[in-house]
Amino acid sequence: MKVDVLVVGAGPAGLSAAIELRRLGVGSVLVAEREAAAGGVPRHSWHTGYGLRDLRRVMTGPAYARALADAALAAGAELRLGTTVTGVIAGGGAGLGGGPVSVSMTSVDGVETVRAAAVLLATGCRERPRAARLIPGDRPAGVMTTGELQQRVYLSAERRPGRALVVGAEHVSFSAAMTLAHAGARVIALVTEYDRQQSYAAFRLGAALRWRVPVWTSARVERVAGRGRLDGVEVADVRTGEARFVPCDTVVFTGDWIPDHELARLAGLAMDPGTRGPVVDTRLETSAAGVFAAGNLVHAAETADVAALSGRHAARHVATMLGTGSKSLAAGARGAGVPILAEPPLRWISPNTITSAATPPLGRFVLRSRDFRRPARLEVRQDGRLLARSRRVRLVPERPVHLGAGWLARVDPAGGPVRVVTGSLPVWLGAPLRRPRSRVSVRRGRWRAEPPATSHAGRRHRARAAGPGLPPSAHRHGERRRRSTSAASPP
């Protein structure tokens, strides 16, 4: 079988790409989805908040998933459900004679090879499960990720009475707490190793007022206990090491995202050590010509509308490559590529290589930090040359920071890697004498040439470092838990 474009994954990114490809006149678009229904994660995320930036409506997850799937079918894309893509060979393989990319798909009908002129990988991401977090102990039932919890509760109508603990305190952790409450659980707490939660204050307040769920900061789950069923978990204070046993019936591991990157690895694509997804340029093309990647595979995890818009962005460049899209998108020939490196405390940046002056999705780069920094400036440098410096931005682990792309034209294609750093070197240590000319936006602010950041930011950061930690009861019960695994009382 031959198609113009094969899209892997029918989540918001894949479906939005398929709709856009058809809108731009691409002849045949096939979307392969391993699940029995299209829509990706939103299918089992029943709360509202989907579709804001891409559909300009606010919808529940299932309604959003249905709307995208219906629109893809109406646009003329073919959806192949229950079909897993198991291999991608860029370059078509010797003697295939079809499109430049060869794809293997497996379904109940057997194995099929599809040749495509271009492939878009939109396989999404997942939360790291307990095993991948290397948490020792027993292997009882009742331990899961938010994704699994939502599927059980919303797709299989499962009830989860009893006490529940949520590991993580980012946006999705509050979503997990909400799902648990709907399933009849009493959520004891959200647990985070950081000294404060990483979501919006309003979410924490909402959880505290509506369900009386506290956030235990500077705390870590260190052991899971239970034969058959979960008895509880050991929670330790990361500063003192004091631990206690917290009895519970469900524990949900949230966040700590990892892209579903197995297919990209198998295809031999260059991988980014920061995002742990494939390296992509600002067109979202990977290291293999004709293979593109979009959505949470390249930025785990953003909201669904951002994933959808990145799918749309990739589709436009695929269409341009195939000759049906806008010529103005071409933005110069594809060069060898200048890597973009995010330096600590920044964890990653996406897209992460520059091959042309094409702008990234939404005209901005997205970054993550591993630490809290407030306020902080981002600087973009190449070979000691300052390309741009931001206003102060707030860095919060697991929350996106955006960096405008107006400096792209100033990158030397023959130069070294572009580095994005936090804070500011004093002018005499390398900042240019010439002010950057480009004005590009950072979140709601604008790039501008500013004096270096003062150490005031660092002072404020240190002043905030002492968080509330585990509630006093958590420390009090440290000794008792060693004698009896069920002795600790609820906080």
Ligand X SMILES: Cc1cc2nc3c(=O)[nH]c(=O)nc-3n(C[C@H](O)[C@H](O)[C@H](O)COP(=O)(O)OP(=O)(O)OC[C@H]3O[C@@H](n4cnc5c(N)ncnc54)[C@H](O)[C@@H]3O)c2cc1C
Query: In this complex, which beta carbon is closest to ligand X, that of residue 9 or of residue 469?
Result: 9
Contact 270, 344 (CB under 8 A): no
99, 274, 277, 295: residue in contact with ligand X (rule CB under 6 A): 295
Q: Which residues pair with 367 in a beta bridge?
A: 349, 401
Q: How many CB atoms lie within 10 A of CB 389?
A: 24
406 binds ligand X (CB under 6 A): no
Query: In this complex, which beta carbon is closest to ligand X, that of residue 51 or of residue 478?
Result: 51
The three-state secondary structure class of 236 is strand
Minimum CB distance to ligand X, residue 22 (Å): 17
Site for ligand X in 48-87 (CB under 6 A): 49-50, 84-85
Phi, psi (deg, nearest 5) at residue 456: -55, -40
The three-state secondary structure class of 280 is coil
Site for ligand X in 256-275 (CB under 6 A): 260, 263
4 binds ligand X (CB under 6 A): no
5, 7, 22, 45: residue in contact with ligand X (rule CB under 6 A): 45
Q: How many CB atoms lie within 10 A of CB 130?
A: 20
Could you tell me how far CA 185 lies from the centroid of its own chain? 27
Q: Which residues pair with 446 in a beta bridge?
A: 441
Could you tell me how far CA 334 lies from the centroid of its own chain? 26
33 binds ligand X (CB under 6 A): yes
32, 55, 224, 230: residue in contact with ligand X (rule CB under 6 A): 32
40 binds ligand X (CB under 6 A): yes
Q: Which residues pair with 80 in a beta bridge?
A: 32
Count of residues for the chain?
491
Q: How many CB atoms lie within 10 A of CB 63?
A: 17
Per-residue DSSP letter, 194: S
Q: Which residues contact 211 (CB under 8 A, 6 or more apart)?
A: 177, 178, 181, 187
Instruction: Indicate the residue type of 322.
Output: L
188, 304, 321, 488: residue in contact with ligand X (rule CB under 6 A): 304
Minimum CB distance to ligand X, residue 122 (Å): 5
Site for ligand X in 164-203 (CB under 6 A): 172, 175
Query: In this complex, which beta carbon is closest to ligand X, that of residue 274 or of residue 295?
Result: 295
Widest pairwise Cα distance in the chain:
71
124, 325, 361, 397: residue in contact with ligand X (rule CB under 6 A): 124
Query: In this complex, which beta carbon is closest to ligand X, that of residue 65 or of residue 387?
Result: 65
From residue 310 to residue 329, the character string flagging contacts with ligand X as x (rule: CB under 6 A) and all else as - is: --------------------
Rounded Cα distance between 456 and 203, Å, is 29
Per-residue DSSP letter, 282: T
Minimum CB distance to ligand X, residue 136 (Å): 26
Both tokens of 282, joined, read 């600002």
Minimum CB distance to ligand X, residue 29 (Å): 15
Rounded Cα distance between 190 and 54, Å, is 31
54, 249, 305, 379: residue in contact with ligand X (rule CB under 6 A): 305
405 binds ligand X (CB under 6 A): no
Q: 373: closest CA among 351, 335, 401, 349?
A: 401
Binding-residue total with ligand X (CB under 6 A) = 38
Minimum CB distance to ligand X, residue 44 (Å): 8
Q: 191: closest CA among 170, 163, 160?
A: 170
69, 118, 146, 368: residue in contact with ligand X (rule CB under 6 A): 146
Of 119-127, 207-215, 363-371, 468-476, which segment contacts ligand X by CB under 6 A?
119-127
301 binds ligand X (CB under 6 A): yes
* Rg of the chain (C-alpha set): 24
Minimum CB distance to ligand X, residue 406 (Å): 26
Site residues (vs ligand X, CB under 6 A) = 8-14, 32-35, 40-42, 45, 47, 49-50, 84-85, 122-124, 146-147, 150, 172, 175, 260, 263, 295-296, 301-305, 307
